[in-house]
């Protein structure tokens, strides 16, 4: 085997790539028509190629398209991506931009760990939003709700031994991750909040009238000030990390505040009742938290196998009562859990993220973006069960490829 020392790593040919000798560079995928403006190929052209121009064997767009399709079909590792591609027939290879060979697992790995994870996240979010059916805005108080939360990729490690920690912004109406940023070394989620929301603003055009919901870690004055200046709103849980505001919220005479909304849910062997009370902040200086308009108390009473427990949460929201009734507040508070239950849990359990020991370069962040794309794609197609959706996509790989390379927003 002869290689050029000046060629990039992904240009090296081994017997695993193909038994046939190369002839000419594989041509890029054919240009799509105006009707295919939602094609994955069109979106992926915006991702910068990290390779040296010399010796490129496979088009970046084609390798990335394979990675996206494979993870949509349930692939959980770099090797699984290559295996999925090799199992396709030659007609599918051609549809993805390959001729007589597809890249080996090592080639896929070498390329994906070098791809700009932030650029890929941006491109995938834009692609999903372009394919997503517009959400029906019903009711005069309908509002776009973005949930912000962080996740540690437990199986991954960086060069210094740290676990990979990513902060994401999740559109609760479509299931699409709008932006994702890594947490810097020796830091936490708080400094990453504003850069993340700047990316969301760039994706949506602005944050005007957008409601951001987050956990108690983000009960920060700076976050509230940034969103208010951008025309958005913040609804956040308050705990002991903000002792003054927390004490003020607890001191509200809640016994005199009438119940604003009550919901009761049953399922999975448990019954849960959620009671929402809200009161407008009228005292001088408010709650001491910037732009807080309402104090909110949500009481959750849960019964499991005859045993009852109760939990009380205190929140603030920068929307006045005329724009946020107790029923709305209860719904939005539950939306904060969507990013955990409908995204992070699925990435862990269905797509086995925590078991994937990606440790090199941008690999952990790139694969997290691919998993976000898979979840968002299937959610936007109305799939309530992501595991079932990935199995179906794997069985119908031809339909999957046709769907992502056309303007048809459905997988099957």
Weakest mean pLDDT among 56-70, 112-126, 142-156, 157-171: 157-171
pLDDT of residue 14: 34
Residue 88, domain member (yes or no): yes
Residue 187, domain member (yes or no): no
Same domain assignment for residues 292 and 379: no
Phi-psi label, residue 300: left if phi above 0, alpha if psi -120 to 50, beta otherwise: beta
What is the percentage of the chain residues whose pLDDT exceeds 70? 84
Same domain assignment for residues 25 and 75: yes
pLDDT band at 9 (very low <50, low <70, confident <90, very high): very low
What is the percentage of the chain residues whose pLDDT exceeds 90? 58
Per DSSP bridges, beta strands 270-280 and 294-304 are antiparallel
Same domain assignment for residues 306 and 378: no
User: Rounded to an integer, what distance in angstroms lies between the CA atom of residue 118 and that of residue 102?
Assistant: 26
Residue 37, domain member (yes or no): yes
Per DSSP bridges, beta strands 145-157 and 211-214 are parallel
| Contacts of 164-170 spanning 24+ positions with Cβ under 8 A | 164/364, 164/365, 164/368, 165/189, 166/365, 166/368, 167/192, 167/193, 167/196, 168/196, 168/339, 168/343, 168/372, 169/196, 169/197, 169/199, 169/200, 169/212, 170/146, 170/338, 170/339, 170/342, 170/343
pLDDT of residue 142: 73
Residue 220, domain member (yes or no): no
pLDDT at residue 339 above 60? yes
Best CA proximity match to 64, nearest among 48, 83, 53:
48
pLDDT band at 132 (very low <50, low <70, confident <90, very high): confident
pLDDT at residue 45 above 50? yes
Same domain assignment for residues 294 and 388: no
pLDDT band at 35 (very low <50, low <70, confident <90, very high): very low
Last residue of a domain, one of 286, 306, 327: 327
Best CA proximity match to 68, nearest among 334, 397, 326:
397
Q: Give the mean pLDDT of 108-114.
A: 92
pLDDT of residue 288: 82
Count: domains in the chain:
2
Considering the entire predicted model, what is its pTM?
0.83
User: Rounded to an integer, what distance in angstroms lies between the CA atom of residue 99 and that of residue 407?
Assistant: 24
User: Rounded to an integer, what distance in angstroms lies between the CA atom of residue 197 and that of residue 263?
Assistant: 31
Residue 346, domain member (yes or no): no
The most confident of 31-35, 141-145, 333-337, by mean pLDDT? 333-337
pLDDT of residue 83: 94
Last residue of a domain, one of 327, 346, 376: 327
pLDDT at residue 305 above 80? yes
Residue 292 is encoded by which pair of tokens?
Answer: 């807080």
pLDDT of residue 362: 85
Complete DSSP assignment for 178-206: EEEEEPPTT--HHHHHHHHHHHHHHHHS-
pLDDT band at 391 (very low <50, low <70, confident <90, very high): very high
Residue 160 is encoded by which pair of tokens?
Answer: 């210094």
pLDDT band at 133 (very low <50, low <70, confident <90, very high): low
Residue that wins the pLDDT comparison between 82 and 5: 82
Residue 165 is encoded by which pair of tokens?
Answer: 């920690």
Phi, psi of 193 (to 5 degrees): -65, -50
Residue 383 is encoded by which pair of tokens?
Answer: 């799939």
Q: Give the mean pLDDT of 41-57.
A: 88
Three-state SS at 218: helix
pLDDT digits (tens, 9 = 90+) for 359-378: 777 888 899 999 999 999 99
Q: Give the mean pLDDT of 170-177.
A: 92
Dihedral angle, C-alpha 118, 120, 122, 128, nearest 10 °: -150
Residue 69, domain member (yes or no): yes
Q: Give the mean pLDDT of 109-129.
A: 93
Question: What residues are paired with 270 via a beta bridge?
Answer: 267, 304
pLDDT of residue 21: 33
- Between CA 403 and CA 410, with CA 406 as vertex, the angle to 5 degrees is 35
Residue 215, domain member (yes or no): no
pLDDT of residue 352: 85
pLDDT band at 206 (very low <50, low <70, confident <90, very high): very high
Complete DSSP assignment for 313-336: EEEEESS-TTT--HHHHHHHHHHT
Q: Give the mean pLDDT of 94-100.
A: 86
Could you list the beta-strand ranges (E) of 124-269.
Answer: 145-157, 163-171, 176-182, 211-214, 233-238, 261-267
Residue 323 is encoded by which pair of tokens?
Answer: 């724009």
User: Rounded to an integer, what distance in angstroms lies between the CA atom of residue 12 and that of residue 57?
Assistant: 9
User: Rounded to an integer, what distance in angstroms lies between the CA atom of residue 22 and that of residue 241?
Assistant: 62
Residue 152 is encoded by which pair of tokens?
Answer: 């540690």
Residue 131, domain member (yes or no): no
Last residue of a domain, one of 312, 327, 342: 327
Weakest mean pLDDT among 28-32, 79-83, 275-279: 28-32
Which domain does 309 fall in, by range?
232-327
How far CA 116 is from CA of 62, 85, 109, 111, in Å, comes to: 16, 22, 14, 10
Residue that wins the pLDDT comparison between 33 and 305: 305
pLDDT of residue 369: 94
pLDDT at residue 297 above 70? yes
Same domain assignment for residues 289 and 391: no
The conformation of residue 407, written as its DSSP 8-state character, comes to S
User: Rounded to an integer, what distance in angstroms lies between the CA atom of residue 174 and that of residue 38?
Assistant: 17
Q: Give the mean pLDDT of 323-338.
A: 91
Best CA proximity match to 153, nearest among 387, 356, 379:
356
- With beta carbons less than 8 A apart as the criterion, state whether 220 and 197 touch: no
pLDDT at residue 410 above 70? no
Same domain assignment for residues 387 and 290: no
């Amino acid at each position: 085997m002869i290689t050029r020392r000046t060629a990039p790593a992904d240009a090296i040919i081994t017997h695993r790539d193909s038994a046939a000798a190369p002839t000419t560079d594989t041509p890029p995928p054919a240009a799509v028509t105006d009707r295919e403006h939602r094609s994955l190929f069109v979106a992926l052209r915006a991702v910068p190629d990290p390779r040296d121009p010399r010796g490129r064997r496979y088009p970046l767009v084609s390798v990335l398209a394979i990675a996206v399709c494979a993870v949509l079909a349930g692939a959980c590792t770099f090797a699984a991506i290559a295996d999925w591609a090799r199992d396709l027939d030659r007609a599918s290879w051609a549809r993805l931009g390959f001729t007589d060979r597809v890249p080996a697992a090592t080639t896929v790995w070498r390329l994906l760990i070098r791809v700009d994870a932030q650029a890929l996240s941006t491109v995938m979010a834009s692609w999903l939003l372009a394919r997503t059916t517009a959400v029906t805005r019903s009711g005069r108080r309908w509002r776009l709700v973005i949930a912000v939360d962080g996740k540690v990729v437990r199986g991954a490690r960086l060069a210094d031994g740290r676990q990979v920690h990513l902060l994401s912004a999740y559109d609760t109406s479509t299931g699409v991750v709008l932006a994702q940023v890594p947490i810097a070394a020796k830091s936490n989620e708080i400094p990453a909040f504003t850069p993340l929301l700047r990316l969301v603003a760039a994706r949506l055009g602005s944050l005007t009238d957008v409601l951001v919901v987050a956990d108690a870690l983000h009960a920060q004055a700076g976050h509230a000030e940034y969103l208010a200046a951008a025309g958005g709103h913040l609804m956040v849980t308050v705990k002991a990390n903000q002792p003054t505001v927390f004490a003020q919220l607890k001191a509200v005479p809640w016994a005199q505040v009438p119940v604003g909304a009550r919901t009761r849910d049953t399922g999975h062997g448990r019954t849960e009742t959620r009671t929402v009370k809200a009161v407008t902040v009228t005292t001088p200086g408010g709650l001491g938290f910037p732009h807080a308009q309402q104090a909110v108390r949500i009481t959750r009473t849960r019964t499991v196998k005859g045993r009852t427990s109760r939990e009380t949460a205190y929140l603030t929201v920068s929307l006045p009562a005329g724009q946020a009734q107790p029923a709305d507040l209860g719904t939005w508070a539950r939306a904060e859990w969507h990013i955990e239950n409908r995204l992070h849990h699925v990435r862990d359990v269905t797509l086995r993220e925590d078991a994937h020991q990606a440790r090199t370069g941008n690999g952990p962040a790139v694969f997290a973006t691919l998993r976000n794309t898979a979840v968002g794609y299937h959610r936007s197609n109305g799939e309530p069960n992501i595991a079932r959706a990935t199995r179906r996509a794997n069985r119908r790989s031809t339909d999957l490829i046709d769907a992502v390379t056309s303007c048809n927003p459905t997988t099957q």
